[in-house]
Structure formats: structure tokens, C-alpha cells
Amino acid sequence: MRYVKDVALVIRSKNAGPYELTFDLMFPDLNVYNEVRHSITKEKIAALYQIDESKVLSIIHFEPAYAVKITIVRPRPSGDLGETDVYGAQQHTPLFELTY
Amino acid sequence: MTELRILSPTAILGYGFPLASFHAGLDRDPHVIAVDAGSTDPGPYYLGSGKSFTQRSAVKRDLRYMIEAALTRKIPLIIGTAGGSGAKPHVDWNLAIVEEILKELKLTAQVGVIYSDIDRDFLIDELRNGRVKPLGPVDELTEEDILASTNLVAQMGLEPIMQALEDGAEIILAGRAYDPTVFAALPVMKGFDMALALHMGKILECAAIAATPGSGSDCLMGTLSRDSFVLEALNPERECTRISVAAHTLYEKSDPYTLPGPGGVLDLRETTFEQLPGGKVRVAGTKFIPTEGYFLKLEGASLIGYRTISISGVRDPIMINQIDEIIARVKDRVADNFQELRDYQLHVHCYGKNGVMGQLEPHPEPAHELGLVIEAVAPTQEIADTICSFARSTMLHYGYQGRKATAGNLAFPYSPSDVSAGAVYKFSVYHLLKVDDPKSLFPVKMGRSGL
């Protein structure tokens, strides 16, 4: 068992519009990308963020950037009452616990 | 015309750019200078309040160089989502800056202004006609949402901007516009491939963010030919790499293969990214797939109240161990004391525990010290002030279990400890509207400005 964070170049989060939160994991080359990408599942993401699997909208593999993109429903629309991160830029760290 | 060159000076008008990069861009003899001025990222306040999230002096600084260069070279300058959110107050704010610069430069220009505000009664009719649908994980639109919106805009496509160019505008100030349009309008008018023009615009709108090292305050050059486009950073400290450009396609979007916009979807499934010498990247193969019907994205924000905040810290471990319980008891105490005030919201952000991630936090164990932000939102500023003040004083003196520090529970960095933070807005409309004519909602207003 190895940590995805140890081989990823980029692990980041950001709003994709005011209603969705999107995560990008980028890898250094095609080999690492291919080795890791299938281990990232909706089930694991839902568990890390303690959300229902239906809130994980998509996991997309984007080979041109050796990247895996995960999009979830925002806990609330950006800026609504109770907001903690308007830009959604600091919601990525649970992904440091992803393994493959 | 076999190639068309576009200079994108900065990611957001007002974010700035090094003059050396800008001049390097002008040396490449661009056919148009275009800049995106907006985003929904800073949250609903700016659209709702009609204010810009960029500062006037910073916007004026950037625009002055762009206006001078464009008018001297007789090439168009196109600004999209003027004033940050593109509603009428934002556009008018930006127009006043343009007029001020023209006067200072002793120049005149044909200015095309394109408002993007949507009439509420018109939208209610369209909602009743079944021509409005949610965009993503959003509830169905209601008439109340429409009426409550202080500003309501639609993202225009290419057509209104092309119209302004055809009408002879030298400077175009567009309200809310789909980001790539300000870059793609001239090439599409000149017969270049729309898919490539839009995809190039999609990358140019963030300027040097697509280069490495990335920057939101530096220039990027795009050169469009018949079958591909090439991107080039204009600062020798940056370069475009195959990966930096491909990776940018992921940024702030949910699906990098299909990028929806007015009238259709950019399809990147067959797009190729090719590294060229000299830190340039060639992109080809992108397709445009028209949607059945032409849809515009609507954005609206509405006032939900007024906010007061109080910032403090806690260092006492006996208190920190019970912080959730203490916050709950303080909220109960406030509710009990102001039983006639039901309409307020009281929230305590707990930094050092789950202040950044809230309910998504997997490790809510508290640190040795906590930062608290007590936040009250209420129908009037006075009620928000009252609730925040009472919650702050209650928490300061709250007698929790096992308390030894009986003089006070909170460390305040400021006096006064409470800050009236003003109006609070929320996104009220984020939907798609089906239209028959892509231009009818975005009339172009032409006028001579300057001197």
C-alpha cells in the first residue's frame, strides 16, 4: 500500500462554479498516471469526505495532463451561510490519505 | 488572413502585468487585445451588491496601457464581464474608468457597451414557458428567487461582441460574457474555426496561469491559424509546456473533455497538445458540438441580511476540550435572551479544529489553541450587531465545567472586538435559459467617448 500523495505532482481543490467542488490530481508521467488512476474510486472519495457516494459527481481521467479529476457537490453554495472556504482552495487535504 | 494573433495581458483586469511582457506582446503585432474582467469565484457579494472585487486604481492602471496601445495601433480592445460580475452597475463603473483614461490621454474612441442584465418580468415569463432549467446540483428556479435577485445577468456568447465589432467599436465593454468570447469574437468573424478560437480563448482568459511557473498577473499570446493555435508566454521567466497547457484545461471545471458554453459544447476528446521549441505549445483537434437549442447561463444574487463578526482566540485546554458544548450552550443562551428575534443566524467558526473544512473535516481534534470567529447574520445590521455582541460577551464569561480561569475565556486581538461587516448576499439564480436569438438580450450601445 502506497500513498498517492507521494507520487502526485499536484493535489488541489477549487470551485467549479458556485455549486461544485473539484479536485485535480496530477502525475509526473504516463506510467505513474496509469498505475494510480484506477485506484481512485467514488467509494474512497465518499469515505474520505464522509459524504454520500451520490455527492461524488464524477471521476474523470485526463491523459493529456496525466490527471485525475474528481468533482463533488459543494457542502453549500459558495458564500452561503456557514461558508468556510469561498474559493474552495483548501479542501484537498483528505486526498493526502488516498492509497493505491 | 492566414493567422490571427491575440494578446491577453492579464488573467483578470486589475491583476496587473509586467510592462516588459506587454511590450513583448505588442512587438508580435497582435490583431486584438482582449481581457476577461470577471469571475464568480469571489462569491455572491460582488454580483449582488453591484461592486467590483478589483480596485479602481488597479483596473485603471491596466486599462490605460491597453487603451493607449489599442488606439495607437488601431486594433480593437475587448473587455469581458466588466466590473467583475458584468451587471449594469459594474459595467457603468468600468465605463467611467474608460472615459477618464480617454480624457487623460486626450484621445477619443468609438466605445461599444453591451449590457447583460435580464429583465425580471421577462425571466418570470420564460420560467412559466418552461425555458429555464437548473445548471448542475441546483434547485429549480422559482419566481421568488427571480424577484429577490438584486442583480440578474446572462452570459453572452460570441454574437453580441461580433455585432459590436461589425458596428465599428474600437473599445468593447461587455457585461457578463462567457470567458472565451472576448478572445474568439474577432477570429470567428474573420472566418477562423470556432472550436479552435473558443478553446484558445478558454486558455487565454487566464493569461499566464497556463504557463509554468504560472501567474495570474502576466501576459500570454495566442496565435490562431486555420487548423491549430499556438500559445506563448511573453515573460522569459515562463514557458508554455505541453503539460502546463493541458493541465490548465482542468482548472475550475468539472469535466475537461466537454466544456459547455452558449450554443454548444467544446469537445476536447481528440485534442492534441504538442510541445514546440522556444516554450510554445500547439493545440489542435478541438471540436464544437452545437446543442439542441441555444442556452445562456443565468446568474443572480440576492440580499440575505447583514453580518457582524468578532474574532478571538482560546488557549485554555480545559475550555478547548469542551468547545463544541460551550458553543452550543452559548447559542442556546442567545436564543433564550432574544426570543422575539427569530430571524438571525449565529455561527462560530472554530479555527484549529474544523474552521477550514467544516463538516468535511476528517480530523476535528482541536489544536492547543483555537481561533474563533463569531458570526451573526440578521435582517438588519443593528440586530446582527446585537446578536454578535451578546454571543461574544456570553462566551467571554461562560462558566463551563471545571473552569479555573474565571476572569475571562477569550483573547481579543482588537478593540473594538466586533466588526459590522455589512450586507450579505447568496447566489439565487444559477440556471440555463433557452433563447431563440443569441443577440436579442444583449443590445449593443455605441457612442463616442473621450476628450
Output the pLDDT for position B252.
Answer: 80
Q: Which residues of A fall within a CB distance of 8 Å from B256?
A: 60, 62, 65, 67, 69
Give how far A35 is from chain B: nearest CA, Å. 19
Is the separation of the CB atoms in A58 and A31 below 8 Å? no
Could you give the C-alpha distances from B48 to B151, B365, B429, in angstroms and in order? 6, 37, 11
Compute the nearest-CA separation of A33 from chain B (Å).
Answer: 13
C-alpha cell, B402: 471545571
Q: Which residues contact B159 (CB under 8 A, 6 or more apart)?
A: B438, B439, B442
| Chain A residue whose CA is closest to B426 | A80
Please state, in angstroms and rounded to a whole number, the distance separating the CA atoms of residues B377 and B387.
8
From chain A, the residues in CB contact with B135 under 8 A are: 17, 19
Residue B316 is given by DSSP the state -
- Chain A contact probe: residue of B51, B240, B250, B253 with most A CBs at under 10 A: B250
pLDDT digits (tens, 9 = 90+) for B335-374: 999 999 889 999 999 999 999 999 999 999 999 999 999 9
Q: How far is CA B385 from CA B304, B389, B397, in A?
A: 15, 6, 18
Where would I find the beta strands (DSSP E) of B119-253?
A: 132-134, 149-154, 171-174, 220-224, 229-233
DSSP designation for B175: S
Work out how many CB contacts closer than 8 A connect A with B.
136
> What are the grid coordinates assigned to B318, written together?
480545559
**Under an 8 A CB cutoff, do B254 and A16 touch?**
yes
Letter for the amino acid at B297?
K
- pLDDT for res B239: 97
Q: Is the pLDDT of residue B14 over 90?
A: yes
pTM for this prediction: 0.94
Q: Residue B438's pLDDT is what?
A: 96
Contact between A16 and B253 using a beta-carbon 8 Å cutoff: yes
State percent of chain B over pLDDT 90.
96
In this structure, what are the phi and psi dihedrals at residue A5, rounded to the nearest 5 degrees?
-60, -25
Give the containing element (helix H, strand E) for A29: none
pLDDT higher than 80, residue B21: yes
Q: What is the per-residue pLDDT across B145-181, written as a single tens digit (0 to 9) for each?
A: 999 999 999 999 999 999 999 999 999 999 999 999 9
The predicted pLDDT at position B450 comes to 81
Across B421-425, average pLDDT = 98
CATH of region A4-76+85-97:
3.30.70
- Extract the runs of DSSP E, i.e. beta strands, from B315-407: 345-351, 370-378
CA distance B91 to B80: 10
Instruction: Give the torsion sign (CA, A33, A38, A44, A46).
Output: positive
List, for residues B61-72, the tens digit of each pLDDT value: 999 999 999 999
Distance CA(B252)–CA(A15), nearest Å, equals 6
* pLDDT tops 90 at residue B249: no
Residue range A8-44, pLDDT digits in tens: 999 999 999 999 999 999 999 999 999 999 999 999 9
